[in-house]
Amino acid sequence: MSEQSSRTVTAAQIDAWLPQTQCTQCGYPRCRAYAEALAAGSADINQCPPGGDVTLQALAALLHLPAKSLNPRYGAHKPRARAMIDETLCIGCRKCIDACPVDAILGARKLMHTIIADECTGCELCLPPCPVDCIVLVPLDSAAKGEPWPEYPRVETDRWRVRTEKRWHRLAQRKRVRAVSRASDPAPASDRERMRAEIRAAVERAKAKKTRRSNRDF
Do the domain assignments include residue 147? no
CA distances from 195 to 62, 133, 200 (A): 49, 20, 9
Residues in CB range of 7: below 8 A, 6 or more apart: none
Range of the domain at 20: 3-74
Is residue 7 one of the residues assigned to a domain? yes
Per the domain annotation, does 95 fall within a domain?
no
Q: Looking at the domain assignment, is residue 55 inside a domain?
A: yes
The CATH number for 36's domain is: 1.10.15.40
**pLDDT over threshold 90, residue 215:** no
pLDDT for position 7 = 53
**Average pLDDT over all residues of the chain:** 88
Alpha carbons 75 and 55: distance in angstroms, whole number: 15
Alpha helices per DSSP H over the chain: 3-8, 11-15, 31-40, 52-62, 95-99, 154-184, 189-217
Is position 180 within any domain?
A: no
The total of structural domains in the chain comes to: 1
Handedness of CA 56, 58, 63, 66 (dihedral sign): positive
Which carries the bigger pLDDT value, residue 188 or residue 87? 87
List pLDDT tens digits, range 158-169. Answer: 999 999 999 999
> Could you report the per-residue pLDDT of 5-25, keeping only the tens digit for each?
445 899 999 999 999 999 999
Structure pTM?
A: 0.80
How confident is the model over 63-97, as pLDDT tens digits? 999 999 999 999 999 999 999 999 889 999 999 99
* Residue range 21-72, pLDDT digits in tens: 999 999 999 999 999 999 999 999 999 999 999 999 999 999 999 999 999 9
Please state the rounded mean pLDDT for residues 198-215: 73
Task: Report whether pLDDT(172) > 70.
Answer: yes
Contact 49, 83 (CB under 8 A): no
Q: What is the mean pLDDT of residues 173-178?
A: 83
79 is a domain residue: no
Burial class (CB in 10 A: 0-12, 13-18, 19+), 154: middle
| Neighbour tally for 74: CB within 10 Å | 16
Q: Is residue 27 part of a domain?
A: yes
**pLDDT, position 62:** 96
Q: Given a cut of 90, is residue 129 above it in pLDDT?
A: yes
What confidence score (pLDDT) does residue 56 get?
Answer: 97
In a domain, 32, yes or no: yes
75 vs 198 pLDDT, higher one: 75
Is residue 176 very low, low, confident or very high in pLDDT (cuts 50, 70, 90)?
Answer: confident
